Structure 1
Amino acid sequence: MSKKLKESAKVQFARQLKRYRETFDLTQKYLAKSSGITLTYISVIEKGDSSVGLDILEKLANFFGVEYYEMGNPNFPVPSFDALPQKTKRAIAQLEKEKLAAAAKAAQKKAEDKKDGKPGRAKQLHTLIANGFFDQAQTAKNTFKALHPNIPEADYAAYTVEIGKITNTLSSGKFEKLLDKLEPIKGSTAVRFIRKGVDKIAAFHTKL
């Protein structure tokens, strides 16, 4: 009689970390920045591909204001916002401030584009497909760059919401029938999109 395989500790902790992170609406990037752990490592942990040493576990636990053994316990409740350390509260508040500022900036630009008669996001993306942009694998960030060549990359942090919307748009509706969605390349968390029918082996090696 076969027994159900037990999940590895790595997979269980991956789910645990994601639960903590999503409770406070934190991106992997912002958690990495605020906790002092690299984005690549946060991503690998949440995929269940890496064991977590005590030093990393302690950093994560300190960020959320719990003990290291509580952080690893799925039966221990995620702390409320009020119970978080002041430093963590400030980090979350700053993230919310950045999100609101980015949303306001994007809304203003959308209104200006509409006033100037510029096409919306979907029409612009269809134009990129028609022009062969997606004949090579492209990330949402690359796509944003193609749509807004005058915006310096140093300012992209203010447009994370818009870049996220590009990912959502390319992943659904008519675009889902036109484009294939590829897994991130090693060391990255960004999915990529490529026109259906293009050689996927060559596309796999396309740089970000």
Structure 2
Amino acid sequence: MYGEETYRKEYGKQVEKYLAAFGLTEEDLGKLINSSSDNVRDIVKGAVGLSLGKMIKIANVFSVHYYQFADPAYPLPEERHLSRSTRKKIEKRKSIGIIVRDNQNLLAKELDRLISIGFLSKPVTASMLHQAMDKSLSNRNSTEISNLLIKRPRNQIIAKLSAKVGKQNLYIHKDFLKNHEPNGLDLFQSAAEQDNPLK
């Protein structure tokens, strides 16, 4: 006979399956049922018990009865049959994508590593920095890197040049700034050299 913990975990798997099927996050579901994303994450992990009321709320998000939602064999509903609020949330998530939470500051740490080995001794774009980073960060984007460069503490040692490569800004360590003034070396050539990232 199954214990309560087993049922919680099975229900959590169902929640995870429905979220993945419709491209929603724990945060999205939390907003739809007036709960927190942390609570939904705990539900997915099977770490918390659920009241009948909470089970009904979750099932209603996907326009099924709570006992149908809990049944792994029950087919997923079609998106067109979902409630208007759920469809709107799905469309919004499609437009903004899933935001990666960097709770361990992995991107910042990797950026600091590149700065420390002299990668910014010549003008580079955020895209070039991204290409040189560890492959585990390939799902991140260059805009995040730009944001890290223009904020403290990195903006104390990194300068943004007036020249650009296409629409992309160029950045350089301030220790090397005097060697790359606009009336000096060809910034675009220097940046192009960085297309082959340091190993």
Using the size of structure 2 for normalisation, the TM-score is 0.50
- Identity among equivalent positions (%) equals 21
Task: Name the structure 1 match of 2:82.
Answer: 84
Per-residue CA deviations over 1:158-207 (Å, capped at 9, x if unaligned) read xxxxxxxxxxxxxxxxxxxxxxxxxxxxxxxxxxxxxxxxxxxxxxxxxx
Per-residue CA deviations over 1:132-183 (Å, capped at 9, x if unaligned) read xxxxxxxx9xxx58962547xxxxxxxxxxxxxxxxxxxxxxxxxxxxxxxx
Structure 2 residue identity aligned to 1:93: E
Return closer, same or farther for 1:53/1:4 CA change in 2, 3 Å cut-off: closer
What is the root-mean-square deviation of aligned Cα atoms in Å? Answer: 3.4
Once residues 4 and 77 of structure 1 are traced to their aligned partners in structure 2, the CA distance between those partners, rounded to angstroms, is: 23
Once residues 43 and 5 of structure 2 are traced to their aligned partners in structure 1, the CA distance between those partners, rounded to angstroms, is: 15
Structure 2 residue identity aligned to 1:47: K
Once residues 87 and 4 of structure 1 are traced to their aligned partners in structure 2, the CA distance between those partners, rounded to angstroms, is: 35
Structure 2 residue identity aligned to 1:23: A
Per-residue CA deviations over 1:19-42 (Å, capped at 9, x if unaligned) read 111000112122222332211111
Task: Name the structure 1 match of 2:45.
Answer: 47
Once residues 70 and 41 of structure 1 are traced to their aligned partners in structure 2, the CA distance between those partners, rounded to angstroms, is: 22
Task: Name the structure 2 match of 1:117.
Answer: 124
Return closer, same or farther for 1:57/1:97 CA change in 2, 3 Å cut-off: same
Once residues 29 and 38 of structure 1 are traced to their aligned partners in structure 2, the CA distance between those partners, rounded to angstroms, is: 7
Return closer, same or farther for 1:145/1:34 CA change in 2, 3 Å cut-off: farther
The structure with the larger Rg is 2
Structure 1 residue identity aligned to 2:92: Q
Q: 1:93 aligns with which of 70, 91, 94?
A: 91
| In the alignment, structure 1 residue 148 sits paired with structure 2 residue 155 | no
Return closer, same or farther for 1:7/1:74 CA change in 2, 3 Å cut-off: farther
- In terms of fraction of residues, the more helix-rich structure is 1
* Unpaired runs of at least 5, structure 2: 99-122, 152-199
2:5 touches 2:46 (CA, 8 Å); kept in 1?
A: no
Per-residue CA deviations over 1:62-84 (Å, capped at 9, x if unaligned) read 11111112111222111111111
* Unpaired runs of at least 5, structure 1: 101-115, 127-139, 152-208
Q: 2:58 aligns with which of 46, 57, 60?
A: 60
Using the size of structure 1 for normalisation, the TM-score is 0.48
Per-residue CA deviations over 1:85-126 (Å, capped at 9, x if unaligned) read 1221111111112239xxxxxxxxxxxxxxx73232253679
Return closer, same or farther for 1:122/1:13 CA change in 2, 3 Å cut-off: same
Alignment of 1:102-181 (within 5 A): 117-118=124-125, 119-123=128-132, 148=148, 150=150
Structure 2 residue identity aligned to 1:54: L
Moved over 6 A (4+): 3-7
1:36 touches 1:59 (CA, 8 Å); kept in 2?
A: no
Task: Name the structure 2 match of 1:11.
Answer: 9
Structure 2 residue identity aligned to 1:81: E
